[in-house]
Structure 1
């Protein structure tokens, strides 16, 4: 048995999801004639209370499209130093949009409205114009941390005062909603654009959706085309998204519970220096300096456990719907015995 905890993207479609995909009514989406895609876009737009939504093959493309819609070359985006758009999208903000990032030193991937205000460039011509604020919820590098919604509202006020766009990388927004008991409409009222992932946590094989206000989304379809993201009979993939929305959101509490139980065991091990606070399905922990990260990962791999290293002796574990109760019991027992191993 392989227990893969590298990411919540390693899941495979369930039998029921595959059946829903095979039964999808499809058409040519370039002509906007795929009724299943149209159904998914309409549904997610309504969930957020937004007028427009567009299906994308990846969250990176959805984020990159949003940035391009909000900015012009030479502009600047305010984001956290751990932001996905800065660290994990291959320099796309510079390559695709010609913009730079003003990186904030937040706490676990989250920052304050006051930090945003202080980061806005003056209007003098020799400064890069600040045009967009971007946040990530949950924050991946922050250990699946959830934003305080009141702080989000304060950032919105700053954006309104300084005429800035506000984008949410909501790849794992479903986890935040389940944990914090918030609603999609709350987020739809605050952000100009929101990207949501259907594969992270929800078990779909592919797909993200960008939602937004009507004016900013006017050119989203054209930008997706520029990025090579237009698809044909993509309703087969959209059907997986519809199935996930119906069946795989509420169960995220199980992933959160397992992650917290893993963190509790890790915190008892003498070879572990720290375990970061766990709110959702991501566990980030740091090994003691005298413990070799590569050897630690290999010890687990030898027992068919796969996790991911983040460098500087930090590692990440992500729970998901394919991580079963039986797997969880096995992993917990293996962890309890790790302290006695020579690493």
Structure 2
């Protein structure tokens, strides 16, 4: 009998657990476009509370959450400033410009800027971003309306942003009149790894998006939080973008189940990532959450050889491989993947 596939490409590949499936099947539903789905409302209220905001909006994807969040704090013709390897400018298909007429400008931080980034890239340096902000009162320049921060940072290898830097940026932004958007796709990982509650992170942003379908294991969905007035405007943008869903409580039920059962267990994913790193010659101290980065390796050859032995990995660049642990990868799967990959790398 063939061994089960070990899929380390991403934490997005998880499938709903039996308990989550039961919660989805039993969900009370209504028409969410009319505001009548009680399970959607329960999820929105809970996430808003967790992140210390007035209101929340359930959206189909993290990309939609990020893009609406940035549009709520940035007008067409203005710009969002962010890290050069940020998800919002790397993996969201130029949506800010294509859909909303928003410019983006980037700053290389923490050794990034190389193909595929580096394990140190993406570390927030508040003063480096602040130094690049363009004023609104100079008609020669494109005004910087917002700064976007990603926590954890995907292309930085799952790094957790330093709280002191987030606080520095927030304090400056209040005086400067520049908004902060938080791409918190994996903010739950950051919270568990750093021992910092979600509200502490959430209150350091005007708008923030968190994802339910990554480490938390829900099949689909993200939640955008902000002030109530902004979320009301966000509902209009969600409808315009085709994100108005009807009896979506079946999806919200998965998110609520994940919040109840899958947050604390993220610590196990982080430990599995460190174990995997140690087996593969990567310093475990560089693994802050659930991602392990193999640098300076022939990525296509490694991926092909691993796949042939039942282990899937992600090629970030020609010389970089990323491994992501998640709830569908137990200790036995980690050990098996480590055996396979160590053998390939030794060759």
Give me the TM-score of the superposition, normalised by structure 1. Answer: 0.94
The CA RMSD over aligned residues, in Å, is: 1.4
Q: Compute the displacement of 1:319 (Å).
A: 0.4
Partner of 2:290: 281
Map residues 1-343 of structure 1 onto 2, 5 A cutoff. Answer: 1-107=4-110, 108-122=121-135, 123-267=137-281, 277-288=286-297, 292-341=298-347
Secondary structure at the counterpart of residue 9 of structure 1 = helix
1:62 and 1:340 mapped to 2: Cα distance? 42
Corresponding residue SS for 2:11: coil
Using the TM superposition, give the Cα deviation of residue 114 of structure 1 relative to its aligned residue in structure 2, in angstroms.
1.1
Residue aligned with 2:246, SS: coil
CA distances 1:202-235 after superposition (whole Å, capped 9, x unpaired): 0100000001112322301000011110000000
Deviations 1:11-37 (A, max 9, x none): 000111000000000000011000000
Deviation at 1:276, TM superposition (A): 9.1
Matches of 1:156 and 1:49 in 2, distance apart? 15
Find the aligned partners of 2:49 and 2:335 in 1 and give their Cα distance.
40
Deviates more, 1:109-118 or 1:163-172: 109-118
Moved over 6 A (4+): none
Q: TM-score, normalised by structure 2?
A: 0.93
Q: Which runs of 5+ in 1 are unaligned?
A: 269-273
Alpha-carbon contact 1:275-1:286 (below 8 Å) kept: no
CA contact (8 A) 1:26 1:236 kept: yes
**In structure 2, what is the equivalent of residue 271 of structure 1?**
none
Whole-angstrom distance in 2 between the partners of 1:172 and 1:127? 34
Aligned residues: 333
Deviation string 1:241-273 (CA, Å, 9 cap, x unpaired) is 0000000000001110111111112227xxxxx
